[in-house]
Structure formats: structure tokens, C-alpha cells
Amino acid sequence: MTHIYKVTGMTCNGCKASVEKSLQSLKAVVDVSVNLEQSEAEIDMTEHISIKQLQDVLSDKFQISEVNTSKNLFDSVASDQHDKSQLRQLFPLFLIFGYITTVAILLNLKAWELSNFMLDFMGLFYLVFSFFKFLDLKGFPESFKMYDPLAKAIPKYGLVYPFIELILGLLFIARIQIPLALIITIVVLGITTFGVIKTLLDKKTIQCACLGTTLKLPMTKATFIENTIMILMAVWMLIKIYN
């Protein structure tokens, strides 16, 4: 008999291999096939294996659950619970955005100017987000290439991306080479946003690498919104500079 299960917490091929090896250690398991992008595991077994047995052989990093394809009166309740769970997972992202916005406002409170607020916001955004990526510099590229087209085509791009964010953050804060920094922002985040849109349209369940791999955030519309805000700010600033 073959069953399909949902497995969350996988961020790279190493995770995939670990899950497959762990599940194959069970005597009743004949074969295991893990789909990293869909976060699913197809298990061929000789007899029924409970979810608890499956979970027990997995690392605490991974959570396995049954895939329920049937529709019933409780689907809306389950969907609502899923939405609330995602909001809880995204809380660190909202909190960080709140901190960045508050600090950028306070820095410009006495002599308010929208342009300076935007530059400070963008600088703080890059500095904070690059910090979380540096916490797991080796693991970040694997997660990033799952949705960024350029990182997927050129793996080394994922390695240098945190440094790009760090440099852009310093340029904005120090007010150095602003036009160049704005252009790079539009290009870099434009490429990432294209990948995010494709991932959302394909309804893939993957981890967002915007805050690195330390905080396991799901890929949602929030990722698209944060990138879009930065791109719109960069476009607005460029228009203002060259007009």
C-alpha cells in the first residue's frame, strides 16, 4: 500500500535525504520518495504505520502529517486554522518590519523628509535581513535557490547575496552611491519577486529565506508585499533624483 504524507521543515536536499533515510529505517517501509518542492513524502509500506511511528523516526526539525484530499463540512475550519498558523509563523517578520519602520521614523522625526525616511528604512531593512542570513551562511543558498531564479541558475549567487544586502544597507545608511544602490535594489529584488510570484501561483509549500533559515517562515503573500514595497520605494526615489 502507498500513502502520501505532508512533511514540513525541509529546506534543502540534505533535509530530503535525511527524511528518506529515517523513514526507510522502518521495517514495514518498502520505498520512500520525497518531493522537496511539494513538501510531500510518498511511502510504500507492507502494513499500516501510524503517524506517531513515522514521527518518532524523524528529527524534531520535521513534522509529518496525513494528506487529506476529501472535502467535508470542516474544510473551512481547517483552512481558518491554517491561516492562523501562518500568521503566527509570520509574526517575527511583522515584528521586524514594525521595528524598522519605527526606528526610521524616529531618525527623521525632528526634520521630517520622506526621502530620508525611505533611505533609512531601506538601509535598516537590508542590514537586519542580511544579519539573519549570516546566521546560517551555508544553509541559506539551498533555501534561496528554491524560489530565486538567479540563485537556481547560478548557485554561487546565493552565497554572495547576504553580502549584497549588507553593502546595500551600508550605502543607504551612509548616503553613498544612492542611485546605483537603488538600481541594484530594483534588479535584485525584481528577480526574487518574480520567483516568489511563480512559487505562489504554483501553490508550492516552501520556506521563505528572507530572514535566513534560522526563523522558519513559510512562503506567503507577505514575502511578495515586502519585496514590492522596497521596489516601489526604489523606483520612486530614482524618479525623484532624475526629475
Q: For position 61, which CATH number holds? A: 3.30.70.100
| 14 and 128 part of one domain | no
> What is 152-203 written as a DSSP string?
HH-HHHHHHHHHHHHHHHHHHHHT-SHHHHHHHHHHHHHHHHHHHHHHHHTT
Instruction: Single out the residue in 17, 34, 66 at which a domain terminates.
Output: 66
Structural domain contains residue 24: yes
| 113 and 22 part of one domain | no
Contact between residue 218 and residue 86 where contact means Cβ atoms under 8 Å apart: yes
Structural domain contains residue 74: no
Instruction: Single out the residue in 51, 66, 81 at which a domain terminates.
Output: 66
Structural domain contains residue 174: yes
Structural domain contains residue 34: yes
Determine the pLDDT at residue 11: 83
Total count of domains within the chain: 2
| 36 and 116 part of one domain | no
| 128 and 226 part of one domain | yes
Instruction: Single out the residue in 66, 100, 120 at which a domain terminates.
Output: 66
| 22 and 95 part of one domain | no
Determine the pLDDT at residue 177: 95
Work out the angle at residue 132's Cα, subtended by the Cα atoms of residues 63 and 228, and round it to the nearest 5 degrees: 90
Determine the pLDDT at residue 78: 43
Structural domain contains residue 199: yes
Structural domain contains residue 147: yes
pLDDT in tens, the chain (243 residues): 788 899 998 888 788 888 999 999 998 898 898 988 788 899 988 888 889 899 999 988 899 998 754 444 444 444 444 445 556 767 877 888 899 999 999 999 988 999 999 999 999 999 999 998 998 888 888 888 888 999 999 989 999 999 999 999 999 999 999 999 999 999 999 999 998 898 888 777 667 777 766 666 666 777 888 889 999 999 999 998 887
Q: Please give the model's pTM, rounded to 2 decimal places.
A: 0.65
- Three-state SS for 99? helix
Full domain range(s) for residue 178: 90-242
